[in-house]
Amino acid sequence: MLLLTVGLLVAVAPIAGSLWCLIAALGLFSAVFDLAHRALQAAATTADAVWPVELASVAYAVLSSLTAVLLTLKGNESSWIWLLGLAISVALPIAAISAWARAHSGAIRGSSPIVKEIRTSIRRHRLASIAYALGLRAERVLMVPLASSSELGLYISVVTLAEVAMWPIQMAFQVMLPRMHEAGGFTGHHLRRLGLGLSLFLIALTPIATACLRLLVVPLFGQDFKPAEALVLPLMLSTAAFALYTLFLGQVLATNARHLRWLEPLLVGTWIPVLLPVGAAYGARGVAWSKVGLYALLATGTALLAFRRHGVSGPGRFPNPVSEPPQQGDVDRQGPQGPASA
């Protein structure tokens, strides 16, 4: 069905309003991929089971951004080329996740195939997950009518660079979480160390990203570098906030997952009608700063949900199966079934 929809959108795009076909395609593909990503993220039980999923997520971000750059270079009238590229860029990571899930079925709870995990996620979240997926990726398409082709190219280039640069940080979170829990829990000390490491990494990364972008923008778009330089800081901050959001998301999936049904759609739904239009009035830089606000809200909201019931040291996404007996206070918080009930 996905391939049929892809073919239909690619065929209709040159005839109908191509921009709306782009938005529909982006929403569909992003929703499918994000549902698959989140379902496997929630089902993975070890660090080894997580990194292929995160790698596929980065592949999706990079490939979809490159196809958007292709749209910029070819012009908005060639939107069907971008549609085709986007279809390929989404199909490849999903195929990679599917192949990995079959090869490592023991790492997925209940040895469930990926289709079953996606269906379960859809049943749990329904339109909320689709709205979240659509809203989270929408700014790259909405930038098409809001910005000139040169501004759009600059924005997509910096977004791609920021996402690739922040991937090691997200991977470090995914690898370190189970070790932290095995050592006795995710404590405030761990949180302070992660925050310090992330801050130092951003301080070192920003000038490096600026230099790399200087080499990319001038040859590719043939224009002044200053507009791109203004995008580096907000997009680095937004990717840092997103990294923290993914860190806290692991805790929420294990403790308060039901609250994500309203938290994420609420924040993303606020971003599209409020933050994004206000930012768009100031061009690509305004959109970048609006994204900082969105991810900061997501990180704050998931942090509050993650620590509300269990505290900073409470069980997280990778609970240690051989743990000490809970104290009486923990039993009162967790209920009669103990840690397994979370």
Cα maximum dimension of the chain: 67
**Residue 2: its pLDDT value, please?**
45
84-88, 92-96, 182-186, 239-243 — most confident range? 239-243
**Residue 266: its pLDDT value, please?**
72
For residues 154-176, average pLDDT: 60
What is the pLDDT confidence band of residue 101, given thresholds at 50, 70 and 90? low
CB 329 within 8 A of CB 263: no
**Residue 286: its pLDDT value, please?**
79
Which residues are CB-neighbours of 269 under 8 A, at least 6 positions away? 131, 135
* Residue 108 token pair: 């997925």
Phi-psi region of 46 (alpha: psi -120 to 50; beta: other; left: phi over 0): beta
What is the pLDDT confidence band of residue 316, given thresholds at 50, 70 and 90? very low
For residues 317-340, average pLDDT: 41
**Residue 108: its pLDDT value, please?**
43
CB 299 within 8 A of CB 173: no
Q: Nearest-CA neighbor of 156 among 211, 216, 197, 98?
A: 216
For residues 9-25, average pLDDT: 50
What is the pLDDT confidence band of residue 340, given thresholds at 50, 70 and 90? very low
For residues 17-46, average pLDDT: 53
